[in-house]
């Protein structure tokens, strides 16, 4: 999995139009051969509200119930917590091909979902509004894609403002004015988006595969179930006190704003609080963090708030609740423990030495932390294992970087194509 060149090649399909081919309209400058149409004029109805019925445990013989929370950020149906609806009137609210639903109230007002037959039989809830798209006037996918554009969300922000929570009713949705190219151009634009979506989907598939591979590889190598070639020495149980050195670096609290550090739970690493105001904390003494330190948040250690500091964290300050440790160069290396501390079995160990109730009542014992016993290889094998895992991690990161680039490229291209700033060759 070392080929990250997944950028779609579609440049021959895109041509820039000449300035004189544009015209001024109520929604801005658009191509001369485009029209401005209201959503309601592109649909068979003016918007229908969904069914108000109680959700029940999901059953295969009942239609699934799509609610506000079921529409994800990509405008897809998320069935993570799928439920059903059992109501005598539910058949009147089935979604069909070419149906699009919009969220009408709440923080997610404006989100839209285009019905996908692969999602099965769906009934839409009362806080959603359905429009039946007339595909003889507009391509359904083109219309849905427009709901992800900046002009659309600018409109949502303006129209949804209420004295209470945000909201847009069916009349307001029906009145939104849209830039509509001829159907052949709509279809060509949709084909380009499909090409981009396919590249993004392939990249996502590779990322998920690499995550599974890396997780399995780490579990095998960090427990000794799988050994690297050239290593046969027996692993030993050692207390962390043999591997770590408690290394507090006490400093006076700065008088000027400074870099404060925190730890995310679930092994998500260090985060920065830049230009942190000294007056925001009552403590007069803080502690300096150095690159490659092991840092623990004793308040949320049970939630795996632990990390190895990187170069960019160097010099950041933490409170006494974030003890720092360096590694004994004869027995341990930070590069190995960067992966070791993320393992589920190590999280379980941290939970055991963090007694009490939930949240801030579960404070890890620093004394017990150093008493924890772990099975580790000699340092030469630690370094070799770390190199294998780091190489695998870098491959994953390269695909994640590629995915971000593809998503940004698609977003930029979408803004250009949906407003006619870039035209497509339909011949």
The pair of three-digit structure tokens given for residue 277, joined into one six-digit string = 């105001």
Distance CA 142, CA 322 (A): 51
Q: Per residue in 240-287, pLDDT tens? A: 999 999 999 999 999 999 999 999 999 999 999 999 999 999 999 999
Provide the CATH number for the domain around residue 304.
3.90.220.20
Q: Per residue in 114-153, pLDDT tens? A: 999 998 889 999 899 999 999 999 999 999 999 999 999 9
Q: What is the mean pLDDT of the chain?
A: 91
Distance CA 104, CA 290 (A): 50
Structure letter (DSSP) for residue 44: S
The pair of three-digit structure tokens given for residue 196, joined into one six-digit string = 């981009």
Distance CA 351, CA 374 (A): 15
- Please tell me whether residues 248 and 315 are part of one structural domain: yes
- Please tell me whether residues 51 and 139 are part of one structural domain: yes
Distance CA 154, CA 162 (A): 15
- Please tell me whether residues 291 and 176 are part of one structural domain: no
Q: What is the pLDDT of residue 57?
A: 87
Structure letter (DSSP) for residue 291: T
Show the low-confidence residues of the chain (pLDDT under 50): 17-19
Domain that residue 162 falls in: 35-180
Structure letter (DSSP) for residue 77: B
pTM for this entry: 0.81
How many structural domains are present in the chain? 2
- Please tell me whether residues 40 and 175 are part of one structural domain: yes
Distance CA 40, CA 46 (A): 5
Residue 141 lies in a domain: yes
Distance CA 86, CA 173 (A): 29
List, in order, residues 6 or more apart from 225 with CB less than 8 Å away: 219
- Please tell me whether residues 133 and 253 are part of one structural domain: no
- Please tell me whether residues 325 and 240 are part of one structural domain: yes
Q: What is the pLDDT of residue 421?
A: 87
Contact 305, 342 (CB under 8 A): no
Q: What is the pLDDT of residue 113?
A: 94
Bridge-based pairing of strands 317-318 and 285-288 is: antiparallel
- Please tell me whether residues 163 and 249 are part of one structural domain: no
Number of H helices, E strands in the chain: 9, 25
Q: What is the pLDDT of residue 19?
A: 47
């Amino acid at each position: 999995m070392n080929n990250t060149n997944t950028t779609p090649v579609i440049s021959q399909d895109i041509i820039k139009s000449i300035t004189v081919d544009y015209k001024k309209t109520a929604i801005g400058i658009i191509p001369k051969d485009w029209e401005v149409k209201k959503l309601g004029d592109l649909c068979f109805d003016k918007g229908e509200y969904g069914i108000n019925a109680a959700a029940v445990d999901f059953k295969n013989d009942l239609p699934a119930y799509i609610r506000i929370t079921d529409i994800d950020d990509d405008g897809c149906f998320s069935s993570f917590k799928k439920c059903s609806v059992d109501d005598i009137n539910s058949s009147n609210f089935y979604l069909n091909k070419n149906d699009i639903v919009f969220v009408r109230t709440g923080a997610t007002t404006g989100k839209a979902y285009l019905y996908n037959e692969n999602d099965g039989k769906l009934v839409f809830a009362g806080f959603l509004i359905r429009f039946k798209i007339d595909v003889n006037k507009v391509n359904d996918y083109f219309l849905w894609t427009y709901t992800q554009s900046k002009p659309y969300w600018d409109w949502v922000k303006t129209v949804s403002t209420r004295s209470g929570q945000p909201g847009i009713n069916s009349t307001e949705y029906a009145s939104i004015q849209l830039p509509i190219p001829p159907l052949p151009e709509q279809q060509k634009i949709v084909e380009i988006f499909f090409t981009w979506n396919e590249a993004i989907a392939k990249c996502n598939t590779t990322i998920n595969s690499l995550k599974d591979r890396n997780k399995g590889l780490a579990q095998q190598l960090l427990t000794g179930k799988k050994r690297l070639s050239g290593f046969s020495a027996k692993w030993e149980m050692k207390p962390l006190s043999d591997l770590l050195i408690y290394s507090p670096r006490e400093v006076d609290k700065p008088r000027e704003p400074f870099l404060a550090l925190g730890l995310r739970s679930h092994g998500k690493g260090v985060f920065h609080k830049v230009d942190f105001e000294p007056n925001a904390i009552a403590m007069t003494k803080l502690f300096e963090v150095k690159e490659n330190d092991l840092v623990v948040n004793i308040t949320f250690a049970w939630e795996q708030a632990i990390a190895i500091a990187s170069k960019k964290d160097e010099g950041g300050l933490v409170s006494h609740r974030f003890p720092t440790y360096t590694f004994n160069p004869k027995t341990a290396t930070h590069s190995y423990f960067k992966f070791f501390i993320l393992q589920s079995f190590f999280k379980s160990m941290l939970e055991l030495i963090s007694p009490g109730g939930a949240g801030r009542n579960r404070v890890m014992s620093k004394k017990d932390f150093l008493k924890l016993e772990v099975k580790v290889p000699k340092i030469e094998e630690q370094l070799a294992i770390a190199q294998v895992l780091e190489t695998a991690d870098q491959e994953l990161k390269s695909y994640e970087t590629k995915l971000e680039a593809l998503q940004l490229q698609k977003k930029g291209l979408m803004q250009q194509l949906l407003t006619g700033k870039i035209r497509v060759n339909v011949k």
